Amino acid sequence: MKVAIITDQHFGARNDSLHFIEFYEKFYRDTFFPRLLKEKIDTLLILGDTFDRRKYVNFYSLQRAKQMFFDKLAEHNITVHMLVGNHDTYYKNTNDVNSPDLLLEDYDNIKTIVSPTTLNLGGQEILMMPWICAENYEESMKSIKDSTAPICMGHFEIQGFQMYRGAPSHDGLDMSIFSKFDIVFSGHYHHKSKKGNIQYLGNPYELTWQDYADDRGFHIFDVKSQKLTFVKNPNTIFHRISYDDKDVDTKTITDMDLTPYKSAYVKVIVVNKTNPYLFDVFINNLHQMGPIDVTIAEDIAELEEDVDIDQTEDTTTILNKYVDNLSTDLDKDKLKTILREMYVDALNGDD
């Protein structure tokens, strides 16, 4: 039996941006559902953070999410087992009030999992673990200890795994807690990574510049053979262009194919600009393609005299480097974690 697994969809992210809604829809229309129908998948496991905001929902984003995703699942008779993630819960200490229960109750094919549950799929037991919070911590630890299932799937915060590239988590559960399982799949961290028997599956599409050039998609899992197949999302919304007119002729620059940058976020990294007029022509041609936003990295400023800031790096890396160069007795790892959380909350509009 094959099942599909997806996690951290974050419907409503980026302040309900219409550009991102269109970006999501292209993935589900052209990649996700065609693959499920081709593979004749009738079961989907969602490992948390289906919705982005903990405290409210934008009705237009919800309508579009239903049209592009939830309605299609019902139309194709796909059974869904959905874990509650931390972004799905109103309170931080309990999973009782959660967006999937409240927003998706009309879908008979969707089963929300708010407490540890063991599924039997194709004769294989799978322990399904929602977000572990203060209220369910003891129950969760007992469920993990007592489970006889060889496979565990959850929305976990585990030490040592990268939330984003270059941003490892120093908080959370110890890996040893899961040593009894043959396989552990988790949502929560958006970067795909694997250590031992634990694998973070990553989210299906780019959401911030931290995701640039980092593979995104979903997975097909054969519960009998335990083979996991990654299905890559071919679409990207963040792009970088290296501009260098030093050793090229005018025609090369003016005839550049800029169509991939339509409805995209673009960073132009200026390597050499020997002809200001030609650069202006290039930027004008780029804007005519209709990008969402264009950032030009040309004059690089310094935060402090001894801190070199590379604008081609993502914000998390810059923050980490800044903290590393501080003269302070504070716990730098903890300070990095606080800054990352503040940054991600600002991006997601979470209050």
One DSSP character per residue, 122-183 reads TTEEEEEE----TTTHHHHHHHHHH---SEEEEE--BTT-EEETTEE--SSB-GGGGTT-SE
Question: Are residues 266 and 190 both part of a single domain?
Answer: no
Tell which of 232, 249, 265 closes a domain: 232
Question: Are residues 159 and 203 both part of a single domain?
Answer: yes
Is residue 242's pLDDT more than 80?
yes
pLDDT confidence band for 233 (50 / 70 / 90): very high
301 touches 309 (CB < 8 A)? yes
Question: Are residues 90 and 174 both part of a single domain?
Answer: yes
pLDDT confidence band for 301 (50 / 70 / 90): very low
Question: Are residues 105 and 178 both part of a single domain?
Answer: yes
- Tens digits of per-residue pLDDT, 105-140? 999 999 999 999 999 999 999 999 999 999 999 999
pLDDT confidence band for 347 (50 / 70 / 90): low
Name residue 128's beta-bridge partners. Answer: 117, 153
| pLDDT recorded at residue 217 | 98
Is residue 291's pLDDT more than 60?
yes
Is residue 306's pLDDT more than 60?
no
Strand pairing category for 193-195 and 198-200:
antiparallel
Tell which of 216, 232, 248 closes a domain: 232
More confident residue, 249 or 78: 78
213 touches 232 (CB < 8 A)? no
142 burial (CB, 10 Å; 0-12 / 13-18 / 19+) is exposed
Question: Are residues 289 and 147 both part of a single domain?
Answer: no
Please tell me the total count of domains within the chain. 2
- Tens digits of per-residue pLDDT, 60-81? 999 999 999 999 999 999 999 9
Instruction: Give residue 19's identity as a one-letter amino acid code.
Output: H
Is residue 351's pLDDT more than 50?
no
Question: Are residues 24 and 87 both part of a single domain?
Answer: yes
| pLDDT recorded at residue 303 | 33
Question: Are residues 214 and 281 both part of a single domain?
Answer: no
Radius of gyration of the chain (CA): 22
Name residue 295's beta-bridge partners. Answer: 267
| pLDDT recorded at residue 300 | 46
Boundaries of domain holding 311: 238-348
The mean per-residue pLDDT over the stretch 188-202 comes to: 97
CATH number of the domain that residue 22 is part of? 3.60.21.10
Taking all residues of the chain, what is their mean pLDDT, rounded to a whole number? 91
As a whole-number percent, the residues of the chain with pLDDT over 90 amount to: 77
Phi, psi of 215 (to 5 degrees): -55, 135
Question: Are residues 219 and 315 both part of a single domain?
Answer: no
| pLDDT recorded at residue 261 | 97
The mean per-residue pLDDT over the stretch 42-57 comes to: 97
140 touches 117 (CB < 8 A)? no
More confident residue, 35 or 298: 35
CA distance 320 to 335: 9
